[in-house]
Amino acid sequence: MRVHFEPGVCRGTVTVPPSKSMAHRTLICAALAEGESVIENLAFSQDIEATIRGLTAFGAAVERVGDSTVRVKGMGWPKAPAEPIDCGESGSTLRFLIPLAALAGKPVRFVGHGRLMERPQNVYAEIFAQKGVKFSHTAEEIFVDGMLPAGEYTVDGSVSSQFITGLLLALSLLKEPSTLTVKPPFESASYVALTCAAMTDCGVHLQQNGNTFSIKGNEKYTSKNLKVEGDWSQAAFFAVPGSIAGGISVRGLRADSLQGDRVVLEILRRCGARFQEENGVYSFEKSALTAAEIDLADCPDLGPVLMAMALFCEGETHFINAGRLRIKESDRIAAMESEIRKMGGVIRSTQDEVFVTGGPLHSANLDSHNDHRIAMAMAAASMASGVPVVIDDAQAVRKSYANFWDDAASLGAQVKCDETT
């Protein structure tokens, strides 16, 4: 799909979608319970649909009730499906469910689309080999066969925290206790905090001592009625242009959220942004921004939109610990370099760092690289500058924020979608 995006002067308030990170975790915990849970404030993005497919394949029953609510009849213990589990392009779905497959007692296969099967799974390959679980990973599928035992586990904390989440969810079901130690640096620790919070909501309690998690074992997930909080990473796509051009507010966010992407407020403030919060609504004022050093170790999903922000900062913004952006839905560093340069922006990178210099932008034909966060980041740059753009493969936003173009239009942008392109 090609989108012709003319931002005009964007003004108004956007209600952010539910947190995709919390939605994945809440759905899985509800599915691991025995009994029926109701989960409210879900957005049925492609990634969430993938997790629902996987949980259904393992034996849970997930019924949609209205536009944003599901009723989940838990499976208690995962059962091996007859067919491969299609994870779409969702890395979270795949990495969260792989350890559950190692509890099913029979072979389980996973397939995916886009770059999903290219994304590294070495952490599981090494751990499963140590624990006697068969694991193979090809360009077509991932194969798991065996029973994950209780015991001592060690995970490299510099790789994706999704592996830690997957293991915590599964180890809690085993009869015997386990420990999971994260070797420093423990990056994206905030995502593991979300996992622990979701597990606690459903009656499973972990003990954390530094970088070691103690899992009692023989835990029982309990069914519960839950509501998913708003997504700080998606709010950033409107907070950034709001801080540059003014006139944009966002609502639906928890001020006390454990989401690591809440740090976007601190980053914007350090760069000179002015905003205020009243009754849960964050209103952003037109501000003169200055460059800063930004550490993406605990907020990699903010990388693309903050690179867009840096185009409007005086000076050169330096991003560190950015390397994991290269193994997302796209190589997000290379993708942002390509698209920013098309608009006349100045950007350079190393393997793990990015440097963006503020300056004028012009109209361009852009490409999302089939990556939702690239499409939305470039739309944010367009809204901030007032410069119209054309974005190809703009349907990529459906992966996480299906209503993004509608929300942008609600602020006054003219959005013309060409589904035939």
CA triple 65-193-222, angle to 5 deg: 45
Residue 201 three-state SS: helix
Decide if 223 is inside a domain.
Answer: no
Q: Are residues 241 and 186 in the same domain?
A: no
Q: Point out the domain boundary residue: 176, 192, 216.
A: 216
Catalytic site includes residue 301? yes
Q: Which domain holds residue 236?
A: 2-17+230-418
Q: Are residues 247 and 283 in the same domain?
A: yes
Tokens matching residue 62: 């997930």
Q: Point out the domain boundary residue: 189, 216, 243.
A: 216
Look-up: residue for tokens 């942004």? 273
Q: Are residues 65 and 103 in the same domain?
A: yes
Q: Are residues 372 and 409 in the same domain?
A: yes
Q: Are residues 156 and 288 in the same domain?
A: no
Q: Print pLDDT tens along the chain (421 aa).
A: 999 999 999 999 999 999 999 999 999 999 999 999 999 999 999 999 999 999 999 999 999 999 999 999 999 999 999 999 999 999 999 999 999 999 999 999 999 999 999 999 999 999 999 999 999 999 999 999 999 999 999 999 998 999 999 999 999 999 999 999 999 999 899 999 999 999 999 999 999 999 999 999 889 999 999 999 999 999 999 999 999 999 999 999 999 999 999 999 999 999 999 999 998 899 999 999 999 999 999 999 999 999 999 999 999 999 999 999 999 999 999 999 999 999 999 999 999 999 999 999 999 999 999 999 999 999 999 999 999 999 999 999 999 999 999 999 999 999 999 987 6
Q: Are residues 406 and 290 in the same domain?
A: yes
Q: Which of 301, 392, 393, 407 is the catalytic position?
A: 301
Collect all residues with Cβ–Cβ distance below 8 Å to 54 and sequence separation of at least 6. Answer: 85, 87, 93, 97
DSSP assignment of 274-308: EEEEETTEEEEE---EE--EEE-TT-GGGHHHHHH
Asked whether the beta carbons of 365 and 394 are under 8 A apart, the reply is no
Alpha-carbon span 188 to 226, nearest angstrom? 24
Q: Are residues 305 and 198 in the same domain?
A: no
Alpha-carbon span 316 to 318, nearest angstrom? 6
Domain count of the chain?
Answer: 2
Decide if 171 is inside a domain.
Answer: yes
Q: Point out the domain boundary residue: 162, 182, 216.
A: 216
Domain CATH number, residue 177? 3.65.10.10
Decide if 167 is inside a domain.
Answer: yes
Decide if 300 is inside a domain.
Answer: yes
Q: Are residues 29 and 8 in the same domain?
A: no
Q: Are residues 262 and 379 in the same domain?
A: yes
Q: Are residues 68 and 95 in the same domain?
A: yes
Q: Are residues 264 and 122 in the same domain?
A: no
